Amino acid sequence: MSKIDPAKIWSLSYRLLMSVISHVTPDIATLGVETKELFVLSALEEHPYPAELAETLSMPKPTVTVYVKRLEAAGFVSREIDTKDLRRHRLRLTPAGRKVMHQGMALLSDAFGERLGRLSAAQQEELRMLLEKMS
């Protein structure tokens, strides 16, 4: 048995994810956001501070700032002063932002679900368990 090349597995995983994202990018754009902005929206409730978002999404802080400003201008995000620390701003999804986030994530979920549908239920469960173990 030959040795498994981790870079090959990483490459396959990356190509799969990028294929799903590319497939839904036009539909996500009709919602008024870019794909990366959708990821910002989806992470915002658990990580309501821009620095946390940047770390969670592995994005540079200035990039997150640009996305937040665009999302705020579009009415998808609001910014408020944190009552626990008046020096910090807390980000919140607006109702419109929550709607777009749910719609966009459903598009991604459906597209990824099509790929998962190529596997049996047992294979899907095994993949889930393996990914959790690796995470």
Q: Which pLDDT value is given to residue 2?
A: 67
Domain ranges of the chain: 6-134
pLDDT in tens, 43-93: 999 999 999 999 999 999 999 999 999 999 999 999 988 777 777 788 999
Pick the CATH number of 6-134 from 1.10.10.10, 3.40.190.10, 2.60.120.10, 3.30.365.10: 1.10.10.10
Q: What is the pTM of this model?
A: 0.85
Q: Which pLDDT value is given to residue 4?
A: 84
The encoded tokens of residue 29 equal 């754009």
Query: Is 112's pLDDT higher than 70?
Result: yes
- Give the dihedral of Cα atoms 21, 24, 26, 30; nearest 10 deg: -120
Query: Is 38's pLDDT higher than 80?
Result: yes
Q: Tell me the CB-side half-sphere exposure of residue 87, using CA atoms within 13 A.
A: 0
Count of Cβ atoms closer than 10 Å to residue 65 Cβ: 15
